[in-house]
Structure 1
Amino acid sequence: MNKIFLVLLVLAVLTGCEKELDQQPISDPTTETFYAIPNDFIQGANAIYAALRGYPDRQLNLSETRSDNLYAVSDGGVRDWEGINGFHRNLAANPYIAEAWLTNYNGVNRANVLLEQLDKNGHIVTDENLRGRLQGEARFLRAFFYFDLLRWFGRVPIVDRVITASEAATIPQSDIAAIYDFIIADLQTAIPLLPSKSEYAGVDRGRVTNAAAQTLLALVYMTRSGPNLGVNGSGLATNNWQEAAALLDEVIGSGEYQFLEGNNAYASIFSYDNENNAEVVFDVQYITGQNPVAGATFAWLLAPDTWFNANGHPNQGGLTIRPVSNDLLNSYESGDVRKAFSIQTGYVYNGVAETRSFFKKYIDLSRVPNNREDWPINFIVWRFTDILMLRAECTLHGASGSQAEVDQVVNRVRARAGLAPRSQVDLAGLMEERRKEFAAEGSRWHDLIRSGLAESVMSSWIEKEDVQSRIDPFQLNYTLYPIPQAELDAKPGVYTQNGGY
């Protein structure tokens, strides 16, 4: 594991008690005295990265669990994920939803602090390249957090500076188009300021690159170009597919990333001994053995305690199975190596057979830590396979390229999985290939919404999968989550709740 952020994730724990958008991450007097030497600005950037610590958990809880990949009913009491999976109306107080709002805004606030200090005291950082890079990192991360907020909640308040508690209580939700403009402006500023992957070395390896910013901007354009569902969601049907394609072409043409091929190539992408491999465009970096604990937490959330027990490990947190859906299980073709790697299909504990399946991707049973919050594995946000498949998606929407090029990308992915080639792959076919390639990586729900397939896929899936009658009928309103109830209560009359809740 890369040791790039020795302070970064410790800060995440130390600041983990922050609960309100109202709160300032650093008081004004502390801010004025803290930024005194160049390294203080680097620490300020690290504090922004620290807000990424729970990002993988969020993608499991709000994307995978919301999608047709999991039939997340439990046998051990009501779990917070069940309302997410079941499209319940009473989700405004759900802790997973509150975490998505609070953590992202804490990250935004930290980015605003650093940008303000660079504006006021940036002369302290005499290295012009470093000063520019820090601005690029802050703007990328602020855009990253806002894109996460927009995809979950739709209309959210834009906070572009350090604010007081009284100011926070008066800032209304912005229109979707304005939020996109804000995100795009940050990324367009960040791209020329950020180094390439090869320009980072040593402890800095793993920080945001210009390719990561180009990838995010491409995904922003693609998401904005998705269908307008009439619910103040992320799709505006803006037809920016060619702009996205051009950015992805730059990442592909950079020569800095590779599609891993050969025996066991798929598993090697996620190997604990192969972090920061040639596939990785951007990941959330962790470091273990710190006090406070600052490793990864997402791995143990995937699997039930009894499976860990059956393999000689202690309880990880009292979890029961969050079952993989039969629909996903049955979608894998015979011989697809990704199924066995990504999914555990049953086990025996104390002589009792468990037949339900669950995700095990990112779990290495030989590397189970003593503390479940200290897993030694980074989480890949985007990898080169994603870049190639996103580029194929742009072509299917009318951007430059040919059907043959789309098929070539898909068949390259299928060949690595041990599958025969296909031809004339359409959008639905591409999304189905992505579903299996990126299972448990947090992309499925976002893919369904961006592609306009959420309503048809989820309605059909509920009819087939919901044998226990635990899932409510799908509505387009449910492509968004509710504004957290605590935010509505703290700012009465300022926010409007999303429809359906």
Structure 2
Amino acid sequence: MKQSVNSLSVLFLLLFLWGCQKDLLNTIPNDRISTEIFWKTETDAVLAANAVYTYMAEDADHFIGWDCMSDIVFTNPTGPQEASISQGQFNALNSRISGDWTRNYAGIRAANSFLANVDKIEVTDPALIDRLKGEVRALRSYFYYQLVFLFGDVPLVTSELTVDESRRVTRDPAKAVWDFVASELDAAAAVLPVKQSDVGRFTKGAALALKARAMLYAGRWQEAADAARQVMDLGVYSLLPSYKTLFSYQSENSPEVILDIQYVQDVYSNSIFQALAPRSVNANSKWVPTKKIVDAYEMKNGAAITDPGSGYDPADPYKNRDPRLQYSVFVPGDSLPNGKIFNSLPDSKTGDAVGSSFVVSPTGFNVKKYVNKEDLAHPGNCGINLILIRYAEVLLTFAEAKTELNQLDEKLYDALNKVRQRADVNQPAITTGKSQAQLQNIIRHERMVELAFEGQRFFDIRRWKIAGEVMPGKVYGITYKDDQGQLQTIEVPGWTQVWDNKNYLWPVPQKERELNTNLTQNPGW
């Protein structure tokens, strides 16, 4: 993908040069590349496939933002549209909702255009074209799995449409869309290589891992388990021994990464440090952890902090906890990227003191994943790659699908315990003999803490239909001792979350229904 950035730059440069030639202006539109001069060479095919990737990259720009519409992340300040979704105060005019519809369908249109035109090219390397077709079909599936999950029935468009045709499409049943996603990813996996020399592109493993996720979301347990097993059997992926460094520059392109977005500082960068890091290191604390996710991490002995025999001390709440807590969340007493100590207590008089500013975390916690000292001097210009799918998720998908199938065998426990017993995590193994219900709870907990701040919680609480249990109520933060030595817990002021079951499906955007009256609306909206 780093090479792809340069390729896209070439594409735009060619567009500019063509637009400057007066002889071409007489016959060819100067606001796009005409098919009369494009779709001639294999380079055109590469450039067009690269353009489809940009729509997936747009999703990565706000992928942690998915979690802020769940119970584990709070949006700060509360202006963004994700905050109103989290609070249950939104409708079909919400810009985040319309933006996700538009972005995904724009990606689908680009993919359909590629597949409709690529065979016009005079081919010298058929394997290249087959690979690019596989990548684009996988990308189109990526866009569709999000649409069908978010909106349910959606138009299933697989060819280029005219403007008039696009205003007459209707919503296809969700089942048909899930069927399409599954078959397309199978077809893509059949032609994609196990490894790509140009990292960041879809591989066989990425297509299968995406199918495993999609089928898990669709509740198609056997298909999810089978796809996850295929990824595991490829033998090219493994867990990085160090969870602590998993989201650092030194671990980019590790064997755990299955699909990511590749970034380059100064060329194609992101602002993840600025969004997540504490205010005292020149960042904005845009998405901050809640007490709920911090409390979810077990003690080092594997017991929940609510277990009377766990050894949990409310006055020293971060001691002897699952190591993934210290690797994922800045808590009071942690070292910051600049070497100073993070102190978010309200009376600390530091740059991170709760309540001292609107760009300070109102919960007293900050996300630590992706916050690297290399970006300290340029928090809005980061080159760290953002991971979309990693091997730990595949293992947990396999374990969950097997549990739902009631296939409670050693393979299930092995996958689950590999995640829990990563070298620098080493939580106690889950012993055999658990019931299906017990394993469901264990795996749901494991996904919550292992994949925290990676955009999965939003989808999980909706597909498990537990959002009505976990979303409503106040948002809380750190617990600390006040001047009288009494324990106090931060409550985000003026914020109460509510839930309505109609929210399990987003409303079809109002502007789309105004443009196309054939689009029906979801129940309750």
Q: Is contact 1:154–1:480 with CA below 8 Å preserved after alignment?
A: yes
CA separation of 1:401/1:27 partners in 2, compared to 1, >3 Å: closer, same or farther?
Answer: farther
Matched, 1:441 2:454: yes
Q: Is contact 1:111–1:139 with CA below 8 Å preserved after alignment?
A: yes
Distance 1:100 1:439 in 2: 22
Which among 70, 73, 85 is matched to residue 70 of structure 1?
A: 73
State the 1:157 CA deviation: 1.6
Distance 2:353 2:91 in 1: 30
Q: Show the counterpart of 1:58.
A: 62
Larger radius of gyration: 2
State the 1:447 CA deviation: 1.8
**What is the 5 A alignment of 1:175-214?**
175-197=173-195, 200-201=196-197, 204-214=198-208
Matched, 1:407 2:413: yes
Distance 1:79 1:220 in 2: 27
CA separation of 1:327/1:224 partners in 2, compared to 1, >3 Å: closer, same or farther?
Answer: same
Q: Indicate the RMSD between aligned Cα atoms, in angstroms.
A: 2.9
CA separation of 1:139/1:58 partners in 2, compared to 1, >3 Å: closer, same or farther?
Answer: same
Distance 2:291 2:408 in 1: 35
Q: Show the counterpart of 1:325.
A: 290
Q: Show the counterpart of 1:20.
A: none
Letter paired with 1:275: E
Deviations 1:225-254 (A, max 9, x none): 2xxxxxxxxxxxxxx322221221111111
The sequence identity of aligned pairs, in percent, is: 29
**What is the 5 A alignment of 1:60-209?**
60-61=64-65, 63-72=66-75, 74=76, 76=77, 78-88=79-89, 90-119=90-119, 121-122=120-121, 124-197=122-195, 200-201=196-197, 204-209=198-203
Letter paired with 1:86: Q
State the 1:364 CA deviation: 0.7
The SS at the match of 1:289 is coil
Q: Is contact 1:56–1:442 with CA below 8 Å preserved after alignment?
A: no
CA separation of 1:78/1:208 partners in 2, compared to 1, >3 Å: closer, same or farther?
Answer: closer
Distance 2:38 2:97 in 1: 33
**What is the 5 A alignment of 1:421-436?**
421-423=429-431, 424=434, 425-436=438-449
Distance 1:302 1:169 in 2: 40
State the 1:104 CA deviation: 1.1
- Which segments of 5 or more consecutive residues in structure 2 lack a partner in the other structure? 14-28, 299-319, 333-341, 355-363, 478-490
The SS at the match of 2:365 is strand
Q: Which has the higher helix share?
A: 1
**What is the 5 A alignment of 1:323-472?**
323-333=288-298, 334-346=320-332, 347-348=342-343, 351=350, 353-355=352-354, 356-368=364-376, 370=378, 372=380, 374-398=381-405, 400=407, 402=409, 404-416=410-422, 417-423=425-431, 424=434, 425-459=438-472, 468=493, 470-472=495-497
Q: Is contact 2:238–2:391 with CA below 8 Å preserved after alignment?
A: yes
Distance 2:30 2:271 in 1: 26
The SS at the match of 1:55 is helix
Q: Show the counterpart of 1:230.
A: none
Letter paired with 1:154: G
Letter paired with 1:384: Y
Q: Show the counterpart of 1:234.
A: none
Q: Show the counterpart of 1:313.
A: none
Matched, 1:480 2:500: no
**TM-score relative to the length of structure 1:** 0.81
Q: Show the counterpart of 1:285.
A: 262
Q: Show the counterpart of 1:302.
A: 276
Deviations 1:443-462 (A, max 9, x none): 11212233343333335x66
Q: Show the counterpart of 2:359.
A: none
- Which segments of 5 or more consecutive residues in structure 1 lack a partner in the other structure? 15-24, 226-239, 310-315
Letter paired with 2:385: N
Deviations 1:307-331 (A, max 9, x none): 332xxxxxx5xx4554321111111
**What is the 5 A alignment of 1:228-247?**
240-247=220-227
Q: Show the counterpart of 1:266.
A: 243
Distance 2:430 2:47 in 1: 49
State the 1:398 CA deviation: 1.4
Distance 1:96 1:40 in 2: 33
CA separation of 1:9/1:91 partners in 2, compared to 1, >3 Å: closer, same or farther?
Answer: farther
Q: Is contact 2:228–2:398 with CA below 8 Å preserved after alignment?
A: yes
Distance 1:401 1:12 in 2: 52
Q: Show the counterpart of 2:484.
A: none
Deviations 1:413-460 (A, max 9, x none): 22332422333351122111111111110011212233343333335x
Letter paired with 1:190: A
**TM-score relative to the length of structure 2:** 0.78
Q: How many residues align?
A: 447
Distance 1:194 1:353 in 2: 47
CA separation of 1:299/1:113 partners in 2, compared to 1, >3 Å: closer, same or farther?
Answer: farther
